Chain A
Amino acid sequence: MVAKPLVPPAGPEPVMRVTAVTKRYGERTVLDVERLDVLKGEVLALMGPSGSGKTTLLRILATLETPTTGQVSLDGAAWGPPNGAAGPVSPARLLAWRRRVTYVGQNPVLFSGTVFDNVNLPLAIRCRVGPGARAAVEEMLERVGLAALAAARTASLSAGEAQRVALARALVSRPDVLLLDEPTANLDPANVAVIEKTLIEAVEMWRPAVVLVTHNLFQARRLGRRTGLIVGGRLIELGETEAVFSYPQDARTASFVKGEMVF
């Protein structure tokens, strides 16, 4: 079998690089990724069966979970387990990482208060206040179609609205890396369309790298410049989206993209 080119040919530089990362819970290895580059300005769609380790990978990229071995680097600055090659990382560097990398979990968590307050929060956290910040929040609310609900309390929102608030909040600080865990799961087509449109606009505006975990094959095809498939904690396929769907290298990918893979 021909070795798969996991790293695409020279082109955009990687913002994030995953090197030999594993994650174990007790005896069980739930993630084992040899190499993964996330490129500036791309949408990388990650798919895989339930329990395959997608969320675990995103949470590691967000530094919410520490890998058992290996390291992740952000623009060359490495982070990993304290006893690993990257060594212990200072809280200040972790904070700097988290200010550039934003994660939106499978179930978005909104703070009590208004929609505006929530979207404004990342700016307030960065001590960005005043008319500029206000305008940035309002623009983002406009983009996700929630301008009319700026003063609404988050407790009263529908699931789709809540998901859009979470996306607006993640985008407002213009992160370099955006990690989205199934942002449109269980949403109706109208909400899905708004979220996808907002994402595409963001990528065009400041070219963040987006890692998008999705169960939706069509969404991966619509948004992903590249698509990866994780099965049993391993990245078994990674390439240009059309290539992955049309000429999968791995037999498991072939059955997955045909919708046959059942676990």
Chain B
Amino acid sequence: MALTSISWSELGAIIALSLLVSGTAVLLASATGVPLGAFLGLSRFRGRATIVRVIYTLMGLPPTVAGLAVYMILRGGGPLGEYGLLFTPAAMVIAQWVLVTPIVIGLVTGAVESRDRRFRETSVSLGATDWQTRFLVLREARPAVFAAIAAGLGRAMAEVGAVVLVGGNIRWKTRVMTTAILLETRRGNFDQALILGGVLLAIGFLINSFVHRLQTGKG
């Protein structure tokens, strides 16, 4: 089947940019979210409950709202306007990072907290120091951390509202799979929209298979 308006090389570029943007955003979100989630899951301090509630709320942040916030910051005249990042892949990474980080923090916090309840006492009564106990609890949470990162990646790959606002869906520059689907559907090119949708699903399936292997292989 021939692609009428998207060449194979353009399709490749769109998929590559999707993976690059979402992958980078999730990498950054993991680097910030996993330690924060681990900390929140392990510690008890005043105000913690409020922080956790705010994060759980942000987990459901609509992508367009995240996009809007990043847009306001990056636009000319905005706080970071001078760097000219708006409508570049970097802006898309930032928007997805904003979107995904609360998801990673929230899921890791919940996972560590439940492991903490279950394993802390056992660890302590076997003679573990505080640090050994933290290590043992976090080690038990490891599979759930992979799941949290995968959930973040799924969310990033699937969202359209944030990348379209701050990326602008510019051909060969900021067009990713979801924004391309949006466009091709509007143009009535359902074949292409469906192919892109299928590719997106296949990538999601591969990611989940990989995470499943990580979780069951060496838990």
Contact = CB atoms under 8 A, between A and B. Distances in A.
A95 B127 contact: yes
B140 A111 contact: yes
Contact of A64 (B118, B124, B130, B140): B124
Interface string B121-165: 110111111101000100110000000000000000000000000
A137 to B, nearest CB: 13
B125 A125 contact: no
Contacts of A121: 126, 136
Given A111-B136, A111-B140, A105 B122 contact: yes
B122 A112 contact: no
Nearest to A94: B124
Interface string A114-135: 0000000110011000000000
B126 A62 contact: no
Interface stretch (A5-13, A75-83, A96-104): A96-104
Given A64-B121, A105-B122, A112 B127 contact: no
A112 B129 contact: no
B128 A125 contact: yes
A52 interface: no
Interface residues of A, number: 23
Interface centre among B121, B122, B127, B136 (most CB of A within 10 A): B127
A54 interface: no
Contact of A122 (B121, B127, B139): B127
Interface centre among B126, B129, B130, B140 (most CB of A within 10 A): B126
A104 B139 CA distance: 21
A261 interface: no
Contacts of B128: 125
A259 interface: no
Contacts of A126: 127
B129 A169 contact: no
Q: Is the interface of B mostly helix, strand, loop or mixed?
A: helix
B62 interface: no
A103 B125 CA distance: 6
Q: Is the interface of A mostly helix, strand, loop or mixed?
A: mixed
Given A111-B140, A112-B140, A91 B130 contact: yes
B76 interface: no
B127 A125 contact: yes
B122 to A, nearest CB: 4
A98 B119 contact: no
Contact of B119 (A62, A64, A109): A109
A96 to B, nearest CB: 9
Nearest to B219: A112
B212 to A, nearest CB: 15
B121 A105 contact: yes
B127 A62 contact: no
A173 interface: yes
Interface string B44-83: 0000000000000000000000000000000000000000
Contacts of B122: 105, 109, 111
Given A111-B136, A111-B140, A95 B119 contact: no
Given A109-B118, A109-B119, A112-B219, A98 B125 contact: yes
Contacts of A109: 118-119, 121-122
A9 B204 CA distance: 73
22 contacts: A64-B121, A64-B125, A95-B127, A95-B129, A98-B124, A98-B126, A99-B127, A103-B125, A105-B121, A105-B122, A109-B118, A109-B119, A109-B121, A109-B122, A111-B122, A112-B219, A113-B219, A125-B129, A153-B219, A155-B219, A169-B126, A173-B126
Given A112-B140, A155-B219, A173-B126, 17 more contacts: A98-B126, A98-B127, A102-B126, A102-B127, A103-B125, A111-B119, A111-B136, A111-B139, A111-B140, A122-B126, A122-B127, A125-B126, A125-B127, A125-B128, A125-B129, A153-B219, A173-B127
Please provide the 9 A-B residue pairs with the shortest distance between their CB atoms, ordered closest to farther.
A99-B127, A109-B122, A103-B125, A122-B126, A125-B128, A112-B219, A98-B127, A125-B127, A62-B125
